[in-house]
Structure 1
Amino acid sequence: MTAQPNRLSAPLRSQRLNQLTHEPHARLDALVKSYDPFASAERFARFVAAQYLFQYDLETRYREPALIELVDDLPARCRVEQARLDLIDLGHAIPEGDETIREQQLGTGAALAWLFVSEGSKLGAAFLLKRMPALGLSETFGARHLGEPQGGRAQGWKRFVAALDGVSLDAEQEREADAAAIAAFERFAVHLERCFA
């Protein structure tokens, strides 16, 4: 019996994107810590403003019909409205987003890679939510965007990853997805720097 080509041992797309973004993710984590966003409600509001801007960037992707065909609950996954309401709770001005990312023509792979970064952040949000009572905040006041998604975090993530790994992409689309995942982390860093400036 001949061995199968090592296609079976190739990492899934989600695993590859995870590995590829390890360094930009670590850099972003360090940047977040440097701003100490959990030191006060005022500092946390700046962090929420960055979240709002990132979700604003992705709002149109969450409504794309071609992507909804892959992930049927995609529109409900967007957190731009929750972040906007959090900023109102926190008495913080709602920053004006720009159209740079919203107007980009992205292929399926690149669009899914941007959403991969956004959806992945919901897993870490569970830990951040535990820090909210110390700031007088909760998933119903000031920290809605960190709340438990309908159906649960783990289940929602598994469904998204299954769609990401299941879609057929050519080599160029795979390269676009890789670049987009890194760009998403870099974009969030830009928003953080702006909101804490």
Structure 2
Amino acid sequence: MNTTETPAFPSRSQRLKAATHGTHDSLDKRIMAEDIFASRARFARFVRVQYRFHRDIQALYAVPALVALLPGLAGRCRLEQIAQDLGDLEQGLPAAAPTALPAAVELPHALGWLYVAEGSNLGGTILFKMAAKLGLGARFGASHLAAHPDGAARHWRQFTAALDAVPLTAGQEAEAIEGANAAFRTVRGYVEEEFV
């Protein structure tokens, strides 16, 4: 007898992944079309995109309601590492700009943005290996892509377990999906601006 139980319904994080697949896939292809590992200069443009996105969401890591729902949230912020990577690559920080997030962002919408940020951290482990070809790594130029000491997959599972446990109505879940899609679209806009 098989004792492995399969959930009857996909988890919230699985539903977010399915609902944002098209937007996410389009962004990934757009970034890779820029051949970001052809040179350090091209990789630096990608890091500028990362910086702009993470600057947008920096305030979310200190929102008390989010911190209460997502244990260890504050420690997941990577903006400082990205800024250090830009310095290593002899790049100035992108000019200050208004955040792409709404001023009074609702919690479900914010969860969608954080889902994208944490997903990029998981996917970053693949990019980290590719960055090594440019002589970049955890101590120089690509620290923000390095896996968490606990392991990228475990770190992701901890986040998604907390995300999946947040009580949301169907309408709020739709807001989270819209938040994630908005985050992907924002990053896509930054790619278009940085790779001109």
| TM-score, reference length from structure 2 | 0.92
CA distance in 1, matches of 2:24, 2:187: 10
Cα RMSD (Å) of the superposition? Answer: 1.4
Letter of the 2:32 counterpart:
K
The CA deviation at 1:127 is 1.1
Over 4 Å off, 4+ runs:
none
Corresponding residue for 1:85? 84
Letter of the 1:24 counterpart:
T
Corresponding residue for 1:39? 38
Q: Which structure 2 residues correspond to residues 60-71 of structure 1 after superposition, within 5 A? A: 60-71=59-70
From the superposition, tell whether residues 171 and 97 of structure 1 become closer, same or farther in structure 2 (CA, over 3 Å).
farther
Q: Contact 2:71–2:162 (CA<8 Å) still a contact in 1? A: no
> Which consecutive unaligned segments of at least 5 residues does structure 1 have?
1-7
Letter of the 1:134 counterpart:
K
SS in 2 for 1:132: helix
Q: Which structure 2 residues correspond to residues 81-120 of structure 1 after superposition, within 5 A? A: 81-120=80-119
Aligned length: 190
The CA deviation at 1:91 is 0.7
SS in 2 for 1:69: helix
| Farther off after superposition, 94-103 or 109-118 | 94-103
Q: Contact 2:55–2:99 (CA<8 Å) still a contact in 1? A: no
Letter of the 1:34 counterpart:
A
CA distance in 2, matches of 1:103, 1:147: 30
SS in 2 for 1:139: coil
The CA deviation at 1:151 is 2.2
Corresponding residue for 2:3? none
The CA deviation at 1:106 is 2.0
Letter of the 2:156 counterpart:
W
Structure 1, residues 66-116: CA drift from partner, whole Å, max 9, x if none? 111112211110111111010010011210242233453222221111100
> Which consecutive unaligned segments of at least 5 residues does structure 2 have?
1-6
Corresponding residue for 2:187? 188
CA distance in 2, matches of 1:178, 1:132: 31
Structure 1, residues 33-67: CA drift from partner, whole Å, max 9, x if none? 22111100000000000000011011001111111
CA distance in 2, matches of 1:95, 1:178: 28
Corresponding residue for 1:122? 121
| TM-score, reference length from structure 1 | 0.91
SS in 2 for 1:36: coil
Corresponding residue for 1:5? none
The CA deviation at 1:156 is 1.2
Q: Contact 1:129–1:143 (CA<8 Å) still a contact in 2? A: yes
Identical aligned residues as a percent = 44
Q: Is 1:52 aligned to residue 59 of structure 2?
A: no
CA distance in 2, matches of 1:174, 1:138: 37
Q: Contact 1:57–1:97 (CA<8 Å) still a contact in 2? A: no
| Farther off after superposition, 83-92 or 132-141 | 132-141
